[in-house]
Structure formats: C-alpha cells, structure tokens
Amino acid sequence: MTNNRSSFLRAINILFFFTEEVVKYETATCAWPELKQYPSTLRRIETDDRGHTRLALLRKAKTLPSPVCCCCCCCCIFFSNLQAMASAVSFPPANVQMLQGRSCHGHAAFGSCSAVPRTGPRVRSTAVRVSSEQEAAAAVRAPSGRSIEECEADAVAGRFPAPPPLVRPKAPEGTPRIRPLVSPQWICNVVCALHCNCTRLNLRPVCVMCVKDMEKRPRRNRKSPALRAAFQETTISPANLVLPLFIHEGEEDAPIGAMPGCFRLGWRHGLLDEVYKARDVGVNGFVLFPKIPDALKSQSGDEAYNDNGLVPRTIRLLKDKFPDIVVYTDVALDPYSSDGHDGIVREDGVIMNDETVYQLCKQAVSQARAGADVVSPSDMMDGRVGAIRAALDAEGFHDVSIMSYTAKYASSFYGPFREALDSNPRFGDKKTYQMNPANYREALLETAADEAEGADILLVKPGLPYLDIIRLLRDNSALPIAAYQVSGEYSMIKAAGALKMIDEEKVMMESLMCLRRAGADIILTYFARQAATVLCGMRSK
C-alpha cells in the first residue's frame, strides 16, 4: 500500500520535473541520432498551431508547476490506468500485452498538458512518457556519461557528438559469403548471361541471380514484435467467443469422457459457477444443450416445447442471475427424439420436413418466452428460418434473433457431442438433411434461402475443416458469420495436448485465430473460457 502510494507520488514528481519549461529544437536542426543520447524521459514530440511537428527536449522545471497542471497530470495518470483496466477484457492480443504489464510499464500519461502557460505559438503535447524508477535514476546522466546540462548546452550550441559506430552482428563460422545484393544492372546482366549460359545479354527478363528478386523482402515487416503487432490483420477478443454448455437435471457435474474439461453441468449448481467464471474473463455468450432423460423422449419430441422443461427453466435462471448475458438456444428435436434424429421420423425412415418445422416453431417460441436472445435452428430442415421468424413475430418476439445453421455438414466431428448428450441417431445417419462434406456451391443455396427467410446470423459447422465455407459465406453475405468449432475438433486438440504431441494452448489460440481470419465474427467453442483466460493475460490452468 505504502509502496504503491510512494511510487505513485514519485511518478507525479517525475512528471512535474520534466513537463514545465522546455527547450525546443526544430527537427531540421536537431539530428535524431544526437537526440537519441538523451533518455527517452527527456524527449517529447510536439505539434504547434500550424501543425509543425518538432522534437522537444524537456528540462528540469525551475518553478513549481501550477495546481491546474498538477491536476492535469494526476488525471493523465489516473485515466491511463483506468484505460488499461477497462480494456482488460475487450482488447485484441496486441493490446492485451499492455494489460500483462509488458508494454504499458512506465507509460503513465497520454493526452495534453495544455494548462501549462507558454510563450510563442501554443504548443500541444502529444505524448509524454514518464520514466520508471530505474529510468528516473538514469535520467540524471546521459548514456555518454556527461550531465544532462552539458548535453543540453552542446545541443543548443549545435555541437553534436558523432553517432556510435554501426555494429554488424557476426554470422556463425561456415556461413557462405554471397555477392552484394545491390549491383549495377549491367553487372547483373553479365552474371545472368554467364550463369544461364546464353550468348546475348539480357536474354531473359528475369534471372534467378538477379537483384530484382531480392528487392522484395516481406520479412522487413516482421522484424520486431512492435511491427508484427502493427501489421496484424486479424484480432480476437473474448467478445467473439460463445461457450456451449451441456446441462442436465442432476445436481452433480458429470465429466464427459471424450471431451476432457467439459461436463454435463448440474443446473443451478455447476452451471451458474461455469457462467460466472466465463463472464469473469469476458465471455458473455452461451448456448445451451440439454441432456434429456429417456423417459421424456418421444417420436415427435414434444418435450422440446415444454415451457417448464430443462432449457426454458435454465434460460430463466440465467437471465435472472446475469441479465446482461446473451443466451443462444439450440432449435432441433434430437435431444428430445427417441429416434435421435433432428426431425420426426416416418415409418419408412424418412425425416418429415414440414411436420418437423411445425414442432421447431413451437420450440423456438417456448425458448423466446423464457427469455432467449437468439434461437439457433441446427436441424437443417428446409424453410425453417422463415417459419420460425413468422412464429416469433406472431407471438410478439420481434427482437429475438435467429442464428441459422446455414451450412451444417453431415460430419463425423460431432461424435463426442453425441456421446455427451446420448443423442446418437438410433438408426441410419443424418445425410438426408445435413450437407455433404464434399459440397461447396450448395452452401450458397442455403445462404440465399436463409437470408431471404430473415436469418440474423449465418453459421458454418464444423469450423476448422470448413474454413473455405466460412470464407464463402463471408464474401457472399453482409450478415454476421458464426463458426462452430465442434466437439471433435476440441477433443483432437485436447488429446494431442495431453499426449504432449502439440502445445495445446498455442494450437487452441491459433485455431481460433484462423476461424476469425477466414471470416467468422463469432466462434462457438468449448475452448471459450480457456481462450478468453489466455486473452486476458492470465494463466489458463
């Protein structure tokens, strides 16, 4: 406590020390290498009224700063800390490091200190970096060993010391010596002619030895962490993640064998705990999957729209405890069907489309009535999005969104999920309604239909093996795109991680980033909490 207070006071002191009176140099008269010898605490970039930028050298204040400035400095420190705290959860990786204290150290103030009275053109200070304790000590002397006053005097008189010699790091023994990369074009042509054994110069427009090839060096933009962060095209934050939750009527959390780290959560107990922990790291979206006792399953899956069933009860509980979360639901009959199919099965094994859609509408309305924010038909029946939209609107649920499983493939990656809910089809497979994994164009037909029927979000499932489909939807629709990193994808990463074949955490983060890069706005993933924990700069285990 005392420690914190004293370092806070020291930080203010340091600010006062350097913000008042300044000696300025026009950029034209002050070469950068010379300025470099002064500790960064003593330099500042300023812009005047006419938009001219210059480098300023800060000098010890002769008088105490005015109370207005004091206030301003305190505010700067206070706000920058606040900014760092407030961004704890929603900032992308480049910024997350700041929260881990890696890159925000010593950066105690941004913004202007314009309350300081000045003469001449009004100068706006764009950035002041306050030194850390060590830097403050070093600030008394420049790296050259001379005092700051001596350095300043020299700089004012235009006496700049020679820049330090350029040191070329040594290559290891045995590194081949290659010819200079930049040579006059004619040398290159001769080399080219000799090399290619041709009789006339300039025969080939491009030669393998030609310097031209080496002028393109994309590695330049990857040479430092700061540059890599600056040019990073895709980011991910906990706000992009939705956590699927398995729920059951029991009180205990039952581990799911094929999905290490996942449980069928006891409603009320483990469920609330899991939501609480996920929210703590910035995950605010949840999708519910119920395990229904066999006794409640039927061929027509009527339990799906029981207003007092497990899902509606859970929605009410969650909305009551955490009113600000987004609750997504699954709209399909499989957890409620004694046949384990997403729709009603006819005597001859055919999945009945329109009759199923009728049941799905009742299911979606029941979920909306309980307080669901987004209903998500995952059944792949034709025409269900339009029908559900009409049913919701008819009941006054205009604000309830539809996230349609637009391109849901008949995939073997769903295996662990079906084990978790005991929802394996009792016979046959789901190929008459889910899409053929070999198909690409067909996803466009589904996209057009779902858009026309009023879907609010389009989902692709599975995720990583179907990145091309995510990109296809992203490029062909203006609607938000969701990707579902399904149970099999999760289990593969977990299993390989447990066997130490891969680095679980890194592969997890990379796979999620790739889904974002392909075009997914949100990702449904069993890794949501673990990944968000990493994004917040905390240890995931």
Residues annotated as catalytic (active site), given as ranges? 408, 461
SS3 label, residue 332: coil
The answer to whether 332 contacts ligand PBG (rule: CB under 6 A) is yes
DSSP labels, 277-300: HHHHTT--EEEEEE---GGG-BSS
94, 531 in Cβ contact below 8 A?
no
Q: Verify binding: residue 342, ligand PBG, rule CB under 6 A.
A: yes
Of 37, 329, 356, 487, which lies in the binding site for ligand PBG, with binding defined by CB under 6 A?
487
| Nearest alpha-carbon partner for 402 in 372, 380, 369 | 372
* Spatial CA neighbour of 377 closest among 349, 345, 399, 353: 353
Piece of 30-38, 52-60, 411-419, 533-541 that binds ligand PBG (CB under 6 A): 411-419
Q: Which amino acid is at 522?
A: I
Q: Counting contacts by CB under 6 A, is residue 60 touching ligand PBG?
A: no
By DSSP bridging, strand 43-48 and strand 53-58 are antiparallel
The gap between the terminal CA atoms of the chain, to the nearest Å, is 29
Applying CB under 6 A, does 107 fall inside the site for ligand PBG? Answer: no
Work out how close the CB of 96 gets to ligand PBG at its nearest, in angstroms, rounded to a whole number: 27
In the bound state with ligand PBG, the residue whose beta carbon lies nearer, of 286 and 417, is 417
What pairing do the DSSP bridges indicate for beta strands 481-485 and 457-461?
parallel
Query: Smaller CB distance to ligand PBG: residue 378 or 406?
Result: 378
Question: Quick one: how far is CA 188 from the chain centroid?
Answer: 46
Instruction: Please say which residue, 41 or 487, places its beta carbon nearer to ligand PBG.
Output: 487
Binding mask of the shown chain, residues 425 to 444, with x at each position contacting ligand PBG by CB under 6 A: -----x--------------
Among residues 418, 419, 496, 537, which is the contact residue for ligand PBG, using CB under 6 A?
Answer: 418
Burial class (CB in 10 A: 0-12, 13-18, 19+), 379: buried
Binding mask 370-409 for ligand PBG (x = CB under 6 A): --------x-------------------------------
Contact residue for ligand PBG among 20, 152, 303, 330 (CB under 6 A): 330
247 φ/ψ angles, rounded to the nearest 5 degrees: -125, 150
The H or E element containing residue 391 is helix 384-394
User: Quick one: which segment of 105-113, 146-154, 413-421, 515-523 binds ligand PBG (CB under 6 A)?
Assistant: 413-421
CA–CA gap between residue 91 and residue 535 (Å, rounded): 8
Shortest distance (Å) from residue 221 CB to ligand PBG? 37
Least separation, in Å, of the C-beta of 164 and ligand PBG?
59
Single out the residue of 142, 140, 139, 164 nearest to residue 151, CA to CA. 142
Q: Which stretch binds ligand PBG (CB under 6 A): 15-23, 47-55, 216-224, 414-422?
A: 414-422
Does 417 sit near ligand PBG (CB under 6 A)?
Answer: yes
Nearer to ligand PBG, 17 or 409 (CB): 409
Indicate the residue among 486 and 522 with the shorter CB distance to ligand PBG: 486
Contact flag: residue 339 with ligand PBG (CB under 6 A)? no
- C-alpha distances (whole Å) from 271 to each of 289, 310, 321, 486 are 12, 12, 11, 20
Q: How far is the CB of 56 from ligand PBG (least distance, A)?
A: 58
Q: Is 304 in the site for ligand PBG (CB under 6 A)?
A: no
Q: Is 337 in the site for ligand PBG (CB under 6 A)?
A: no
Cis peptide before 462 (omega within 30 of 0): yes
What letter would DSSP give residue 337? B
Query: Is residue 242 exposed (0-12), middle (13-18) or buried (19+ Cβ within 10 Å)?
Result: buried
Shortest distance, CB of residue 484 to ligand PBG, whole angstroms? Answer: 6
CB nearer to ligand PBG: give 99 or 486: 486
- Tell me the three state secondary structure of residue 229: helix
The footprint of ligand PBG (CB under 6 A) covers: 330, 332, 334, 342, 378, 414, 417-418, 430, 486-487
